[in-house]
Structure 1
Amino acid sequence: MTTLAFDGRTGASGDMLLGALVAAGADSTVLERVEDALDVAYDVTTVTKRGVRATAVSVTHGDAPDDDRGADERDDHEHEHDGGRGHTHAHDDAEGHGPTRTYVEVRALVESMGLPEAVEADALAVFEVLGRAEAAVHGTDLDDTHFHEVGADDAVADVVGAALLLHDLDPDRIVTTPVSAGSGEVSMHHGTYPVPAPAVVEIAERASWHLRGGPVETELLTPTGAALLAHYAEGVDETPAMRVSESGYGAGSTNLDERPNVLRAVVGEEREDSAESEDGTHGAAHDERVARDGLVRDDVVVLETNLDDAPPEVLGGLQDTLADAGARDVSIVPLTMKKSRPGHLVKVIAKPADAGAVARRLAEETGTLGIRETGARHRWIAERDFETAEIAVEGETHAVSVKVARDAAGEVYDHSAEYDDAAAVAAETGLPVREVMRRAVEAVRAERAGT
């Protein structure tokens, strides 16, 4: 399994993520799609941060003056969250260049760019994370939320550019270690607030990774960086065991005292969770996912929407159509909506990396105007596999698949015969389905017991 791991100890911003992805092997030419759609250009350079060679990616505008100085030679950028000036940031993220936009306008812009379907879905999902955070902070509706910095051209270029680069890398799994937010204060349109900024805190509530303060007194984690990691990355305590194939560093715009201002990205083949090391112990990637009671933690996103006008045929097909987009499970619950109208609650479980594509497909299939991402960030699941049971009926042998549930230590605690197999045998033999299922489970248990 190919894994992309970010080291979050120095925070993250949109431009740092761009630099880290290019340095880790993503093809920077994919960014030309954004340059063609917006009046911007990506400036990719190599810089040194406290002795660490890093890739700096900045967004320039058609009317911007040329600047051929290296990133370490440029003055520290100062900006406020409303696009003004007055607070120094360690990361150059969403400087407010170009027009600011509402959430609805940003969606329309992204949809007009002609992006691959998966890239568009991911970019829109990131902006929804940003929009919901801003709406929660300011007490507004999502569609009425006005982006200041994160709606400007360069912020759109950061989000869409990161989506394109990640699509080019195409890892099976994306993780991040705990992400540092910095400390101190940040100036915004409404006043001075402590770091992390309110929007970053809101985003962190929806993320599966841990947010931590420090280690320096400046803003390390920007809303754009937080939203990108919240959408794409699973939280881990440390970089999982992997055979490294690529690595690189994305540079922040300023220098920090005593430490390089960089975001590290590592790409490699991760050891399977079930694999054991030479001394017989499980690897770190396995251990950090095991609960105290032996079940395994699986990071997920739960998506919900209420429907009052969906045809039964559409509801009946959601299991298959959403599964094609990456959904792990779909539940549909009848409910009563406003004006006593009958409706349905659709709940979907998906992996964080698939949430954007699943949400887009759910919206397309049902026509819903809004999809909620609930607070659940993981589930505890069993390891499972299948065994084939052979049962004899009137001298003939029939095969039925039986699901076997195990905890992380390998202890079996449940058996369940597959209904479709049992129903086929029941139709052929005349036995009740539940009798076929019972015999199949007993046959597997007997075989495991050696009788």
Structure 2
Amino acid sequence: MWLGALVDAGAPLSTLQAAVDALDAGARLDAATVRVRGVAAVKVHVRLPAGAPTVRTWAEGRSLLDGADLPAAVRDPALSVFRRLAEAEAAAHGTDLDRVHLHELGSLDTVVDIVGACTGVHALGLQRLTSGPVAVGSGTVATDHGDLPVPAPAVIELLRGFTVFGGGSRELATPTGAALLATLTIGAPLPAVRLTGRGRGASDPDRADAGVLTVLVGDAEAGAAADPAVLIEATVDDLSPELVPVVLDGLRHAGAHDAWATPVLMKKGRPGYTLTALVDAADIPATQAVLFRESTTIGVRWFQINRRPLPRRWVTVQVEGHDVRVKVAEFDGQIVTTAAEFDDVRAVAEALDRPAREVQAHAAELARHVVASWDRSG
């Protein structure tokens, strides 16, 4: 559905096909306008030749993408999506990244979907993507591991922090689609924009319960870039300091964008904490429950605020042959901050016997060069 929605929104099918051709695997894309419950949408079919290569592991997928003649603005996000998918599968099946076998990647079409989606986003010049609540479905789905419950374990791993709902009695969110959402979008309400275009992508138009993915394209209006959010907080003076991180982790798992504790001085000079979470309005009940369950508070308060999150994207760079993920944030078209994933930094520092701060700084500098190359090629 991603490919259909992006093509319908204006991404040239020929541009997507050129990117797929760079994989040198003979895959073809066909697009057709179909009707789903009376609404026009685009269905993109991925046609694979007989004997198309299989992609079962992270190493195989990475090798295929690294060897493709793709612009950095497509290859790097595609690698990030593929890695995110592999990590989710590894977490779901209790193994590590290099050992996991990806049940959805039995053929080339998953890589084609990822490359096509990243190409479409780049072709449309989209700088920031947000996603509303995600329909995941219910029931079971057949995989190489046997029948799995819906949503699949990897989908659950990928959509942590997103608002989800059932929406039907079949699989509505696949691991590949969830990996694209988790890597390329922010789970947040649609901000105020001047609507300039739209696209609709269809799943299987022959099914009565066929799905449609809608993409809205717009320009952020001056002065209207703020997103509404809610601050929910509680103040306590009898909570053990060892339990404060437990409360904060619980708030994040309940959907909070962020959570923190602020030392305060309370009545009679007693030291305490204000426990605060930044949440969407829909997550107030879940985060409120965490505060009552995990802390000693007997009351909470909340109020609406406006926030302006900077557009950000994940870049995967290599530090002496080791992958490090870096989050890059931009303001007014310029990079203003970079943040390397510290778990990656620590692992690379240990592997290379280098100070973590050196690995961190080197990864940040590499990420800046990668984003600059995207801008030059775009």
Query: TM class, shorter-chain normalised?
Result: 0.5 to 0.7
Q: Deviations over 1:207-243 (max 9, x none)?
A: x532x23211110000000001111111123x33322
CA distance in 2 between partners of 1:332 and 1:145 (Å):
21
Give the aligned partner of residue 106 of structure 1: 61
- Which residue number corresponds to residue 244 of structure 2? none
SS in structure 2 at match of 1:170: coil
Closer/same/farther in 2, CA of residues 113 and 271 from structure 1, 3 Å limit:
same
3-state secondary structure, aligned to 1:144 = coil
1:165 aligns with 2:176: no
Please tell me the residue identity of whatever aligns with 1:358.
A
Q: 2:162 — aligned with what?
A: 209
- 1:17 lines up with 2:26 in the alignment: no
What residue number does 2:100 align with? Answer: 145
* Cα 1:338/1:164, change in 2 over 3 Å: closer
1:34 paired residue number = 20
SS at 1:44 equivalent: strand
Aligned residue in 2 for 1:68: none
Change (3 A) 1:306 1:251: closer
Report the equivalent of 2:185. 233
| Alpha-carbon distance in structure 2 between the residues aligned to 1:309 and 1:38 | 26
* Displacement of 1:360: 9.1
For residues 55 and 49 of structure 1, the distance between their equivalents in structure 2, rounded to whole angstroms, comes to 10
Deviations 1:407-449 (A, max 9, x none): xxxxxxxxxxxxxxxxxxxxxxxxxxxxxxxxxxxxxxxxxxx
| Counterpart AA for 2:71 | P
* TM-score, scaled relative to structure 1: 0.54
What does residue 196 of structure 2 align with? 245
Cα displacement (A) at 1:358: 3.2
Indicate the residue corresponding to 1:328 in structure 2.
337
Evaluate the alpha carbon distance shift between residue 60 and residue 359 of structure 1 in structure 2; reply closer, same or farther with a 3 A threshold. farther
Matches of 1:303 and 1:122, distance apart in 2: 7
Work out the number of aligned pairs and report it.
Answer: 286
The 8 Å contact of residues 308 and 344 in structure 1, kept in 2 or not, is answered as: no
8 Å CA contact 2:317, 2:367 repeated in 1:
no
Paired residues for 1:38-437 under 5 Å: 38-63=25-50, 98-150=53-105, 152-205=107-160, 209-210=162-163, 212-237=164-189, 239-254=190-205, 257=208, 261-272=211-222, 274-275=223-224, 285-288=226-229, 292=303, 294=305, 296=307, 298=309, 326=335, 328-330=337-339, 343-345=355-357, 358=367
Q: Is the 8 A contact 2:230 2:304 kept in 1?
A: no
Determine what percentage of the aligned residue pairs are the same residue.
35
Write the letter of the residue equivalent to 1:244.
Answer: L
Is the CA contact (8 Å cut-off) linking 2:228 and 2:307 kept in structure 1? no
Describe the superposition over 1:365-420 as per-residue Cα deviations: whole angstroms up to 9, x where unpaired.
xxxxxxxxxxxxxxxxxxxxxxxxxxxxxxxxxxxxxxxxxxxxxxxxxxxxxxxx
> Is the 1:102–1:147 Cα contact (8 Å) retained in structure 2?
yes
State the Cα deviation string for residues 255-277 of structure 1 (Å, max 9, x = none): 555x66210111112224x34xx
Give the SS at the match of 1:298. coil
Tell me what 1:7 maps to: none
Change (3 A) 1:344 1:174: same
CA distance in 1, matches of 2:110, 2:320: 36
CA-atom RMSD, angstroms? 4.2
| Alpha-carbon distance between aligned partners in 1 of 2:340 and 2:308, rounded to the nearest angstrom | 21
Q: Taking structure 2 as the reference length, what is the TM-score of the superposition?
A: 0.64
Q: Take 2:334 and 2:157, find their aligned partners in 1: how far apart are those partners?
A: 27
- Return the offset for 1:201: 0.6
Whether the aligned pair in 1 keeps the contact of 2:77 and 2:314 (CA below 8 Å) is no
Assess if the C-alpha contact under 8 Å between 2:139 and 2:149 holds in 1. yes
Is the CA contact (8 Å cut-off) linking 1:183 and 1:213 kept in structure 2?
no
Given that 1:98 and 1:154 are in contact with CA atoms closer than 8 Å, whether structure 2 keeps it comes out as no
The answer to whether the Cα contact below 8 Å between 2:31 and 2:43 also exists between their aligned partners in 1 is yes
Kept after mapping to 1: 8 A contact 2:81/2:183: yes
Which residue of 2 is the match for residue 436 of structure 1?
none
Offset of 1:162 from its aligned partner?
A: 0.8
SS in 1 for 2:105: helix
AA aligned opposite 1:118: A
Q: What secondary structure does 2:70 align onto?
A: coil
Q: Aligned partner of 1:241: which letter?
A: A
Q: CA deviation at 1:50?
A: 0.5
> Residues 304 and 347 of structure 1 are in contact (CA less than 8 Å); yes or no, is this contact kept in structure 2?
no
C-alpha distance in structure 2 between counterparts of 1:167 and 1:131, whole Å: 23
3-state SS in 2 of match to 1:34: helix
Q: Which of structures 1 and 2 has the bigger CA Rg?
A: 1
